[in-house]
Structure 1
């Protein structure tokens, strides 16, 4: 199928016409709102003047700008507002009255104390979808605690099943609870918008890092609900089938999954282990799992003598799912992703082109949009406030008083 681009699309992006206010910091809310922006929503990021949200000062930089910020906040607009001032609150109220969605990830109760809790804002805009992402949820004994990704991974059991039995405790290499919570934010937002099409009413959505992480423990929960046993670390191996893991090669690593009769036979043929096909210890994926350590030793004794490329080619030819383990610098140069146009350059007014990770959502008629990199702080303050009905004099006064910030005024 020929790749459809925003320029060749037959219809507007799916969420064109939806206005989203994002009061987010770090990852969960910004990542969730980014999905909506990629799908065409007008996402207006509300930030404090002068400093902006914390990711602006975090991580690797390009000409003084955070590279991570410019990815997490692509396709968005920035409005800088001091929400502790009365005029700033008036600005936010005006924006809320005309918005479809509000996404926030402050600690529970923070926006309520500012006068922008759901029970308050629904009186101004009954159709508003109000989405809260927090560490632990809006209620329950943990609700008031601060919660970051590593705490959600820890309390959610993910760190207890990551790594190896004889190794130190490790966390998953990416902030998975933050990111999955962000995906749930986007999914729930679209569900609530669909429900609004029927009822005409908005609703409140409660998402959290903790439950987002626990929701991923499918195999571990199945074991506990069946036998009462806790999950344990298994390195790269699968929780219930074998062989399904990484093996050392002469020059690196290869992963493979030979858990069906066909792929198991294919793997045995590649490794010259035809004798194991009829071995009762390895008769099916379940029995191979019971004897997985013995089997892994047999296989790795053979993979260590061959290069990764040789093994991938041989396993591919035999129809056995496999892949090399790549470093991230190899991933971003990888031929398959680049041929599919996964990475793209977003425009930034001060830097020029800023490289982006693409969206995995490939819609055939209404593709995701590819517009700007994460905006300069306050770049859109004047335009957004003018569209909301504020006069030029009113905006100028608020800029002079530090209530709002516009990029040309910093």
Structure 2
């Protein structure tokens, strides 16, 4: 594969999820991403999950294919070395989640290099501190997640992930502008803004402003359409989603319940035709479907649902997924120092049907001599 971002140099001063994910996204497309860490390594180098030898699989996963230098960021001389790395070569991009050191900020660096692109992640738009789980708490989503009365933060740091991809999009938009004009740009993304924008774009905030609808927790059911989880006769749990009338009719044909629901529709004077109808009458639908699932072994369920092209999937653990990874084109085998050989993801983006192979994450200061000599 010809690397789409070959020749793009990115200096990353970051930690945790969003900014390292931005750098990883670019590295997987061929950019030369240089991770700058404090002496001894960044704080997230010890974050769980860990290998049996204590290596952070979290850090290794988010920093595959990058180069790494370690410097004393409290030393003016070392910060000058980093600044020279940024401004001294060809066009460069800086990705960071800190504005602690003014001499590594946009104003100071762009004064020396007007074509610099500087990408900064803030916690809040006003510059205040925030992380994914605190942002979750303030955006309404945990009050709709799970069941019971207590708020439930999602185990997936969704706003970090979204923010990392927004950073990459903003960076590449600025890079296109630089290609056209030769001008650099300062790009800023706030983690809280990403969460609030998403809540607005999905209509949740407009619903709260414009209607009296009272959103409540609904477990695995899907708001406004029909979806739920079911247990088969042999104890396997599956999730199904019926978005369209075609999906609904296929589900009835698959389960042999067409006549039953036609009778219910006539007797109760209700319709199951639209998404809204099926959501409103889910308390009628679910018991009948649950009975069919509960009487049918998983192998038969899988065969029938697949045959009828129902949207469904079996619930699987990470441990169950692991043996299947080598069969997927998304994954390639790497040998990560301190962790060992394992299957790691390439970029989800395919270019002309192919992707770059994954490469191991760097050790602390691995490229100091190469980059700071």
Q: TM-score, normalization: structure 1?
A: 0.82
Question: Any stretches of 5+ residues in structure 2 without a counterpart?
Answer: none
| Equivalent residue runs for 1:38-49 within 5 Å | 38-49=28-39
Residues in 2 aligned to 1:86 and 1:287: alpha-carbon distance in whole angstroms:
65
1:103 to 80, 87, 95: 95
| Equivalent residue runs for 1:1-400 within 5 Å | 9=1, 12-50=2-40, 52-59=41-48, 60-97=50-87, 98=89, 99-106=91-98, 109-112=99-102, 115-137=103-125, 139=126, 143-144=127-128, 146-164=129-147, 166-217=148-199, 218-227=202-211, 229=213, 231-242=215-226, 244-250=227-233, 251-275=235-259, 276-277=261-262, 279=265, 280-334=270-324, 338-348=326-336, 353-364=341-352, 367-386=354-373
Of residues 211-220 and 87-96 in structure 1, the stretch that sits farther from structure 2 once superposed is: 211-220
Shift of 1:309: 3.0
| 1:302 aligned counterpart, secondary structure | helix
| 2:230 aligned counterpart, secondary structure | strand
Shift of 1:177: 1.3
Residues in 1 aligned to 2:209 and 2:352: alpha-carbon distance in whole angstroms:
41
Residues in 2 aligned to 1:230 and 1:122: alpha-carbon distance in whole angstroms:
50
Q: Could you give the per-residue CA deviations for residues 232-270 of structure 1, whole angstroms, max 9, x where no partner exists?
A: 32211222112x222222212111122312211111122
Do the aligned partners of 1:354 and 1:373 also contact (CA within 8 Å) in 2?
no
Shift of 1:350: 6.0
Shift of 1:55: 1.8
Q: TM-score, normalization: structure 2?
A: 0.90
Residues in 2 aligned to 1:78 and 1:363: alpha-carbon distance in whole angstroms:
27
Question: What number of residue pairs does the alignment pair up?
Answer: 361
Shift of 1:289: 1.1
CA 1:216–1:294 in structure 2 vs 1: closer, same or farther (change >3 Å)? farther
Do the aligned partners of 2:244 and 2:275 also contact (CA within 8 Å) in 1?
yes
Shift of 1:346: 2.4
